[in-house]
A and B are shown apart, each in its own frame.
Chain A
C-alpha cells in the first residue's frame, strides 16, 4: 500500500508525477489534469515535505504515512515487519459496507523504502501534533459539501457523480477551496484504504455509507420518481457526513489518501470494492475466519477500563437502536399525515368549487390552500426528523460497530503477542533439546530463531500497549464528538420546530379574515 504524501507544489513536473501513485501500479502516471497548483497556498514550515523532495531524486514513491505512523508510535523501533508479511492479516470490519481491500498482489510488488526516511519522523511528529492542535482547536476549519448529484452514463453501467467541494484554511491542504467529482465506489475505496491502514492499530475509522442495490438500480434504470430522488438525496447527505467525520479525525485528516481524495481531479477506480470481485469473495472468506477467531480468543483483561467501556458501548448500541426504531415510526407517521392532509385539501377545494355561496366558496378554497401549505410543512418536518435524527442514530449505530471492531483488534493484538510468547517458549525448548543432541549447525539456527521470536514478543507487547493507548485516546475523542454531534442535531431540530410553528401562525393569521368574511 504505497500511499504518497503529497508535497506542496514545488515544480509542476515533479509535482505531477508525485500525485498519481496508486497501489504502486503506475508509478509514474502523469495525468494531464492534476492540481492546478496555486502558488498562493502558503507552505507551512512544519510540513517536512520539502525535506522529502530533497531526499528523493526525482519521482519516486517514498514510503509515507503508514511507516511514519509506526515510526511515530514506535520511536526507536527498527521496523522489520514489512507490509506484506503474512502476519498482517487482511482486516475486515463488521460493517455492511464493503470492507477493506485486502493486501493485493501489487502491494507485494511495491518496493518499500525503508528507514531511509528515518530523519523524517521527527518532523512528522511535530507537524502531526501541530496539525492535531489545529484540527482540535478553534481553528478547525474544514468544510466539505457533497452536492449536485449527476447521472453519468446509461443503463446498468450508469452511476451518480457527486461534486465534492472543500473549503478550508488548514495548511495541510494546498489550496483554500477546491472541487472534485467523485462516485460512490470512490468513497468506498477511500474507506477501504483507511480501514486497512488504521483499524488494526486502534483508530476508529468512520464507516462508509451503505451500499444499496435496490436503490442504485432504480436510479440506473432511470426511474424518475420521488423515491429514487429521495434515495439520491439520502446518499448525498450520508456521503457528506462521512467525509466530515473523516476529516474531523486529526490523524485521518493528514492521510494522503484522504487528501488525494479531496483534492485530486482524477482517481483510479476502486474496483475491489465491488461485492462480486475476487477481493469481495476474499473478504467474505476472511470475515468468516474472523468470526471464528473472535469466538476462540479468550483474553485476560487486566485493564478494567476496557471492560467497562465495552459494556458501555454495548448498552449504548442497544439504546441507539431502540431510538432509531422510534424515530423511524415517527417519520413514517409524519409522511402519512402529509399524504392525508393533501387529500383533505383536495377534497375541500372540490367542495369549495361546488359551493354556491360565494364567500363560503372562497373561504373553502383558502382553507384548501392553507391545508396544502401545512402538508408541505409536514413533509419538511418529516425530512428534518429523518435527516437529523434517524440518520444520525443509524450513523452512530454503525460507528459503534467500528468501535467494537477496534476493541476486537486489541484482542487480536493481545492474542498475537501471546502466540509469540508461546512460540518463543517452544523455540527455547527446541534449542535446549538440540543442545543435548549436539548438532551444531541446527543449534545456530535454533538460536537465531529464538532471537527472532524474542523480537516478536517484544514487538507484540509494544503493539498491544500502543493499541491500548490509542484506543483510550480514540474513545475519548469519540465520546466528545458524540456529545457534540447530538447537541448540534437537537439544536437544529428545535430550530426547525420553532420555524414550523411560526409558519403555521402566518398561515392561520392570513386565513382569519377570509373566515370572518363569510356571511
Chain B
C-alpha cells in the first residue's frame, strides 16, 4: 500500500531522509509504528519502532528547541490526533476524532499521515537539525523525554485569553492579511474536509451494499431441472459478478479519494491550525511589546532602566519571530500549493485509471452476457 501511495502521491519534499511508516500489530495498549528511514547522503538504512507517545515526545522537543531565535515564528508540522486502539476500525467515534485517518483496515492512512509528518520535519531547514530527530529515526530505544505535563502544551493554544488576543489588531498589514486569510482558509478547509469525508464514507457504504446485493443474487440458486429456471440462475450469477465489479469500482474510487485529496485535506486542516497558532504566538508577543512600551512610559525613573531593558529584549524577540514568520509563511504557502497540486493530479490520474479499468471490465461483461443470451 505504501508503494501505491508513493506512485500516486509522491512523498513531500524530504531533504536528507527518505521515510516510510507502516503499522505493526498493536499489543492491545497502543499501536506500534515501524519507521524506516534512509539517509540519502550515506545510503544507510534504519528501522525503528515507535509509539505515538514517542512522536509526541519528539514534537515536544521540537517545540522547546533551544538556541533558535524566533522559534515561536515557526509553523510546526502538526501531529495527527492520538489513535485509540480500543475503538474498532471505522468506529463512528474514531472517525469523529480522526476523520479520514480512521478509515480502512489497519488505518493505512494514519500511517501515511505520520510519514508525512516526519517528512515535513526532516524537510524543515531548522527543525531537521534537532538532535532528538536523529535519535528518533536511528536509535531503537525509547526517547528519554520527560513526560511533559499537558500544561506545557497549552501555551501553544491559550484558551481564555486567546480569544481576546486573537483579535488584536496588527501593526503590520501583511501579517494582518495573513491572519485574516488564515481564518477564512481554515474554516473553509475544515468544511471541505468534512464534506469530503462524508462523501468517501458513503462511497464505502455503497460498496458494502453492492456486496450484499451480489450475495443475495447467489443465494437463490438452487438445483432446478427446469430449463427456464436454470437460465434464470445463470443470469443471476452473471449479474452477481457484475455487481462485484461495481463494488470493486466504488472501493477503488474511495481509496483514490482518500489517498490523494483526502490526505491533503486532512493534513492541511491541521497545518493551517498550526499556522494560526504561530500567528497567534506572534500576536501575543506583539501584545507583550505594546505592554512593555506602556510600562516604559509609565515607569518611574528608578525602574526606567529595567523597563528599557525589557522593552529592548521584547522588541528583539518580536523582530526575530516576525522575521522567521515571514519566511515560514512564504514556504508554507508554496508548499501548500505544491501539495494541493500533487493531490489534485493524483486524484485525477488515479480516478482516470479506475474509470478506464472499470469501463473495460463492464464492456467485457456486457459482451459476455450478450453471448450468454445468444443475442
* B369 A490 Cβ-Cβ under 8 A: yes
Min distance, Cβ A505 to any Cβ of chain B, angstroms: 5
Q: Is the CB of B198 within 8 A of A344?
A: yes
Q: Report if A234 contacts B (CB, 8 A).
A: no
| Residue A51 interfacial (CB < 8 Å) | no
Within 8 A of A (CB), among B128-185: 181, 184-185
Cross-interface CB contact of B231 among A312, A332, A483, A502, cutoff 8 Å = A483
Q: Does B246 contact A (CB under 8 A)?
A: yes
**Known contacts A340-B202, A480-B228: A518-B191 contact under CB 8 Å:** no
Q: Secondary structure of the B side of the interface? A: helix
> Would you list which residues of chain B between 341 and 362 have a CB under 8 Å from chain A?
341, 344-345, 347-349, 351-352, 355-356, 358-359, 362
Question: Is A327 interfacial (CB 8 A cutoff)?
Answer: yes
Complex alpha-carbon distance, A329 and B205, angstroms: 10
A333→B202 contact, CB < 8 A: yes
Overall SS of chain A's interface: helix
Among candidates A329, A340, A356, residue contacting B209 with C-beta atoms closer than 8 Å: A329
Q: Which candidate, B110-118, B232-240, B299-307, B309-317, is the interface stretch facing chain A?
A: B232-240
A495 near B: Cβ within 8 Å?
yes
Tell me the nearest residue of chain A to B239, going by C-beta: A490
* Residue A151, interface by CB 8 Å: no
**A344, A356, A498, A516: residue with the most chain B Cβ atoms closer than 10 Å:** A344
- Interface status of B96 (Cβ within 8 A of chain A): no
Interface residue from A312, A329, A340, A511 paired with B348 (Cβ < 8 Å): A511
Let me know if A360 and B184 touch, CB within 8 A.
no
What is the distance, in angstroms, from B318's C-beta to the closest C-beta of chain A?
26
Q: Closest Cβ of chain B: how far from A465's Cβ, in Å?
A: 23
A491 and B203 within 8 A (CB): no
Across the interface, name the chain B residue whose C-beta is closest to A504.
B355
Q: Report if A479 contacts B (CB, 8 A).
A: yes
Identify which of A77-85, A346-354, A417-425 touches chain B: A346-354
- Asked if B126 is at the interface (CB within 8 A of a chain A CB), the reply is no
Q: Is A323 an interface residue (CB 8 A)?
A: yes
Bound together, the chains give a CA A357 to CA B224 distance in angstroms of 66
**Interface flag for A343 (CB, 8 Å):** yes
Task: Verify if B12 is at the interface (C-beta below 8 Å from A).
Answer: no
Q: A333 to B203: give the CA distance in the assembly, Å.
A: 8
Nearest B residue to A309 via CB reads B226
Q: Which one of B199, B202, B228, B337 contacts A479 once the chains associate, using CB atoms below 8 Å? A: B228
Known: A326-B216, A347-B188, A516-B345. Is A486-B195 also a contact (CB below 8 A)?
no
Chain A residues with CB under 8 Å of B352's CB are 505, 508-509, 512
User: Are A343 and B202 in touch, CB under 8 angstroms?
Assistant: no
Question: Shortest CB–CB separation between residue B240 and chain A, in angstroms?
Answer: 11
Q: Do A323 and B362 touch across chains, with their CB atoms under 8 A apart?
A: no
Complex: A357 Cα to B336 Cα, angstroms: 10
Check: B332 CB closer than 8 A to any chain A CB.
no
**Given A344-B198, A486-B232, A516-B345, are A494 and B217 also a contact pair (CB < 8 Å)?**
no
A2 to chain B, nearest CB (A): 38
Contact A494 to B366, CB < 8 A, known contacts A337-B203, A367-B344, A519-B338: yes
A204 to chain B, nearest CB (A): 15
Bound: A491/B242 CA distance, A: 11
Is B366 within 8 A of A315, CB to CB? no
**Which A residues touch B196, using CB under 8 A?**
344, 347
Within 8 Å CB of A480, what residues of B? 228
* Contact (A515, B219) CB under 8 Å given A344-B196, A482-B228: no
User: Is there a chain B Cβ closer than 8 Å to A322's Cβ?
Assistant: yes
Contact: B229 with A312, CB < 8 Å?
A: yes
Task: Identify A343's interface contact among B195, B222, B238, CB under 8 A.
Answer: B195
Chain B residues whose CB sits within 8 angstroms of the CB of A340 once the complex forms: 195, 198-199, 202
Beta-carbon nearest neighbor of B185 in chain A: A354
Q: CB of B210 within 8 A of chain A?
A: yes
Q: Is A426 an interface residue (CB 8 A)?
A: no
Find chain B residues with CB under 8 A from A356 CB.
Answer: 181
Cβ of A3 under 8 Å from chain B:
no
- Shortest distance between the CB of A5 and any CB in chain B (Å): 33
Query: Quick one: closest A residue to B208, CB to CB?
Result: A333
Q: Which residues of B contact A333 (CB under 8 A)?
A: 202, 205-206, 209
Q: Is the CB of A518 within 8 A of B362?
A: no
Query: How far is the CB of A485 from the nearest CB of chain B, in Å?
Result: 10
Whole-angstrom distance from the CB of A379 to the nearest CB of chain B? 13
Q: In the bound complex, what is the Cα–Cα distance between A410 and B343 (angstroms)?
A: 68
A494 contacts B199, C-beta separation under 8 Å: no
Chain A residue contacts of B199, Cβ below 8 A: 337, 340-341, 343-344
Residues in B232-273 with C-beta less than 8 Å from chain A:
232, 235, 238-239, 242, 246, 249
Q: A329-B212, A347-B195 are in contact. Are A518 and B337 (CB under 8 A)?
A: yes
Contact between A483 and B195, CB atoms less than 8 A apart: no
Contact A344 B195 (CB under 8 A): yes
Q: Restricting to A458-500, which residues have a CB under 8 Å from any CB of B?
A: 479-480, 482-483, 486-487, 490-491, 493-495, 497-498
Interface residues of A in 311-365 (CB under 8 A from B): 312, 315-316, 318-319, 322-323, 325-327, 329-330, 332-334, 336-337, 340-341, 343-344, 346-348, 350-351, 354-357, 360, 363
Residue A501 lies at the interface, judged by CB distance under 8 Å to chain B? yes
Q: Is B106 an interface residue (CB 8 A)?
A: no
| Residue of A326, A487, A497 touching B246 (CB-CB under 8 A) | A497
What chain B residues lie within 8 Å of A515 (beta carbons)?
341, 344-345, 347-348
CB distance from B143 to the nearest CB of A (A): 37
Bound CA–CA A334/B226 (angstroms): 36
Given contacts A486-B235, A491-B366, A519-B338, contact A312 B224 (CB under 8 A): yes
**Which residues of B lie under 8 Å from residue A336 when comparing CB positions?**
202, 205-206
User: Are the CB atoms of B369 and A330 closer together than 8 Å?
Assistant: no
With both beta carbons as reference points, the residue of chain A lying nearest to B231 in the complex is identified as A483
Kindly state the separation between the CA atoms of A329 and B210 in the bound complex, as whole angstroms: 9
Given the interface pairs A319-B220, A322-B219, the reply to whether A498 lies near B341 with Cβ below 8 Å is no
The CB with the most chain B CB atoms within 10 A, among A323, A350, A490, A519, is that of A490
Say yes or no for B340: interface residue by CB 8 A criterion: yes
Q: In the complex, A115→B32 CA distance in Å?
A: 94
B228 A343 Cβ-Cβ under 8 A: no
Chain A residues near B365 (CB-CB < 8 A): 494
Cα of A333 to Cα of B202 in the assembled complex, Å:
7
Chain A residues, Cβ within 8 Å of B205: 333, 336
Residue B363 interfacial (CB < 8 Å): yes
A498→B209 contact, CB < 8 A = no
Residues of B within 8 A of A516 (CB): 345
Chain B residue with Cβ nearest A330: B209
Q: Given known contacts A344-B196, A494-B365, is B341 in contact with A330 (CB within 8 Å)?
A: no
Contact assessment for A501 and B358 in the assembled complex, using a CB-CB cutoff below 8 Å: yes
Inter-chain CA distance A323–B220, complex, in Å, is 9
Measured between beta carbons, the chain A residues less than 8 angstroms from B229 are 312, 479
Min CB distance B315 to A, Å, is 31
Tell me, rounded to whole Å, the shortest Cβ–Cβ distance linking A364 to chain B: 8
Q: Choose from B184, B220, B341 the contact partner of A518 (Cβ within 8 Å).
A: B341
Residues on A with beta carbons closer than 8 Å to the beta carbon of B195 = 340, 343-344, 346-347
Q: Does B213 contact A327, Cβ atoms closer than 8 Å?
A: yes
The reply to whether B209 and A326 contact each other, CB–CB distance below 8 Å, is yes
Cα distance A327–B215 when bound, in Å? 12
**Residues of A contacting B345 in the complex (Cβ-Cβ under 8 angstroms):** 512, 515-516
List, in ascending order, chain B residues with CB within 8 A of A357's CB.
333, 337
Nearest 6 A/B pairs, CB to CB: A319-B220, A501-B359, A479-B228, A518-B341, A326-B213, A504-B355
- Known: A330-B209, A497-B358; 11 extra A-B contacts, CB below 8 A, are A322-B219, A323-B213, A332-B209, A333-B205, A334-B206, A340-B199, A347-B192, A357-B333, A363-B341, A486-B235, A490-B235
10 contacts between A and B (CB under 8 A): A315-B222, A330-B213, A341-B199, A344-B196, A347-B191, A351-B188, A482-B232, A490-B239, A512-B345, A516-B345
